[in-house]
Structures are given as structure tokens and as C-alpha cells.
Structure 1
Amino acid sequence: MLEIARYEAERRLRGTVALAVGIGVLSLVFLAFFPSFGDADLEGLVEAYPPAFQEAFGIQAIGTIEGFLAIEVYQFVWLLLLGLYVAYAAASSIAGDVERDRMDLVLSLPVSRGRVVLETFAALCVPVLALNAIVPVAVYGGVLAIGESISVADLAMVHLLSIPYLLACTAIGLAISVVVTRASVASRLAIATVFVLFLIESITASTDGYEWIGSISPTHYYDPTAILVDGTYDWGGAVVLLAATTVLVFLASVLFAQGDIGS
């Protein structure tokens, strides 16, 4: 059992470690610049940005270590760039195997198409879990190294609650992967979809009467700034993201089972 999941997870292991190290080092580089913020005109800096940008990245609290981390690491690197990456990786998974004719070999074995989708998703979860286990250690060490302190509970929660968000982005990519059989097209489409959803939430969040439109975006349900700066945990948002992930993975299984490979 789970042979496909184990194989795919092992195949992604090296890339996952490299990505974790890269994000960890980048976080330390960002943190090294934080002490210099004490001499900056932060209020003028914040006011220089348009309201939509302030709302999207929560830069009002950039003067604190919590706000700085939320903006520089979690709003930009974690929420946006990592969200795009996991969607990209998921979109190239099944579509790539179909395009290279590897899927025909896999399905010649006694496995159902639904099992292929589920085990592929399970393998894609491994990098998400690994990154959320490794990176916070580097971030916390970096905070201590510059003589600052941060709530361990809030740092742990910003990573724990990012898991449903990243899984939702992964599920978006997986759903696209079973519909579009060219890996390059599927990957670009997944990136575009997640980015457009991010923009929708960012733009509508600062408008009157249109905030509800942003509820279609995964970023609506995960706010690193609220967690780190205010200590607010959106458990309801996590449930919504997990439910959406379940629906998307189920939909991907159905579509893959009914579709014609290579058509």
C-alpha cells in the first residue's frame, strides 16, 4: 500500500530539503536587517504605500519584530511565493506523468485512478509538512540571534495554520493537473489561478460592499499578521480551507477517473 505516495515523496525529498534551507537562510537575511529599522521613518514609509497594498501585506506593524516577520517572511515568501510554488508543483505532477507517458505504465498496475490521485496528493503534502517543521526553527533562532524575542506559541501557530492554506493551493494545482495534460501549461495555469485569487482578496479587502468576493480566495482564511501581531487564530478559516481541499481532491479524483489520458 501507498507505494505511489512513498515513491513520489522520496523523489521530492531533495528538493524539499533544498527549499527549506533556502527559505531558512532567506529568513535569516531578512532578520539581519531588522535592527536597522530603528532609525527609519516607519510611519512615513507605511503611508507611502497605497491602501490596497497596506491591506494585502499588513505593513502597519512593520516596526515590531512580529510585524516585520509577518510582512517580510510570511506575507510575501510564505503566503504568496510558497503558495505559488506548491500549486506549480502539484499542477506538474499528474500532467507531467501523462505527458511523458509514464501514467500508462502506472495504470497498467493493479491501481485505480482514484488511488493515483490520492497518493499523489499525499506525496505533495510531505514538502508542506517538512517546511513547516524546519523553517520555524531557523526563524526562531534568527530572532534570538539579533537580540529580539517572539511568542513561541504564535510562531508555531503561524506555521500550523499555514498548512491548510498550502494544502488548498496544492489541491488547486492538482485539480488543474488532471484536466490539463501538458505539464507546462498546467503549471502556468496553476500559478496564474493562485496569484489572481491573491489579488482578488487584496483588492476587495479594502473596498466597501465587495469584501465578500475575497472569500473565494484561500488567502482570505489565512492571515499571518493577525497571528503574529495580534495573537488571533482563525480556526474557522482553517476548517474552510481543509473542506475546500477535500472537495478539490475529490473532484480531481472524479475527473481523472472519467477522463481520457492523452486526449
Structure 2
Amino acid sequence: MDDITPGDGEEPAATVSGGWPPGAIPGDGAWPEEYADVEPQSAPRTVADVTPAPGSDVPGSAALSPDGRTLVVTDGTKRLAVWDVTDPAKARVTQTTDIPAGGGGASLSEDGDVVRSGRLGWRLTGPGKAEAVGELPLPKGAESMDVPVEGSWGALAVTSGPKRFTTWYVRAGMEPAALGTDAFPEVPHAFALPPGRLVLGYTGLLVRDVSHVVRTAADPKAAACAATGGGLTRTELEARAPGATWHRACP
């Protein structure tokens, strides 16, 4: 894609539409089994509408818990609703909350316990139940952000300007770190491909791979040992700091 310009000093992100063979990405429709007819078990039923609210051009979003019993919906009106869908025929809203500035699309953490709307978060405590958890830091100058993926290691977030996306590493208690900026000819979206990869774009897609950041954040000691070749040996320490007590730093 010639019209995508990586951020200054950044390695170009891999282009999905520029050389990847069909079927390289699960769900792209290229595998024969993805065309198999599926017999519906029951008639579809609408339980929530995420189309933009009247007067708003902000679409809503939804996230379903791994057990399929809780649905969290944002509807573009700065309101988040928690649904109990244990019985889809009797789906009901159990709680709602206003989303102040800094909110974004709904997403679930890797373990399925926390739902995020931008920097704001709620822990799912049961079918249709959620309680607020700590906020993630918002990048300086940004009014809002989306969090495509979050884990015990932190989270990957994106902020957007006119046809541009900046990817961030965010974690409570530290300043967000920019991981790269990409330009697009249209308004982009972001989707997570764990671990540590984001699909960015709209009609044209690219992949930004920041898995090295995720691995480092998940196990900083292992990353430091790998970067230093296992740390100083006893001989190397004695040469640099005679008399210092040596301890094995890496396995």
C-alpha cells in the first residue's frame, strides 16, 4: 500500500493486502471450511443496537464475556450498558453507567475479566454485573483512546487523528509509551491479534507487530537477560568492580 507512511524512525508495519497469501489470517474467508453452511440453532434476536445515536457520528460497540453470559454495550451516547444474556430470550439490562471523556469502544481483557471503554474499566463479577476498576493513563494531548487488548502485562491502546493512528503501550502508574504512527487514506479502525499484534485500517489493512513490547512487559527479567546475553560472569564483574560480590542474575 503506497499511501501508508510509517511514523518517523519506525519499521514499516506488515501489509495484509500486500503479499500475504490467502488464508494466512484466520477468518479472511480463504479457507474452504470458512464457506461451509452453518445451520442456525435458533432465529436471531436483537438484544442491543450499537448504531450511532441521533445527532452523533460515533458508532457504538459491544463485547461479550467468554462464558457468553454478559454483554457490554456502548451506544455512542457516552453511556455503557451491562446486559445479562444468560437466557437470550430474556436478555435484560442490569446496570448502566455514564462514560466521561476518555472513553472509547468496548473491549475485553485477555482473561475476560475486565471490560474497557477507553481508559475506563469494569471488572465482570457475575452474569450482568460489573464494578469499576482503576483507570489507565491517557496519552498527553489525547481526548480519548481505544484499548484493543489488555492483559496482566499492561495494554495496547490507539489514538487517532485525521486519518492517522498512533499505537501506545499503557499501564497504570506509568506514562504511556508511543510505539508507532501510521497514516491511512480513510478513517481507520484497530483489531487485536494476540499476542502483541494489531490490525489497523479500514478498506486497506496493515499489521503493526509490537509483540516484543508485550513479551518484555510480561517478563522483564527474561527480556533483560536475553538483551545482555545472560548478564555478567564472575570474571567480568571482577574486571569491572574488583571485590564486588557476584550473584547469578540470570538462569
**TM-score bin (small chain):** under 0.3
Q: Which has the higher contact order (CA 8 A, sep 6+)?
A: 1
Question: By percentage of residues, which structure has more helix?
Answer: 1
TM-score, structure 1 as length reference: 0.23
Question: By percentage of residues, which structure has more strand?
Answer: 2
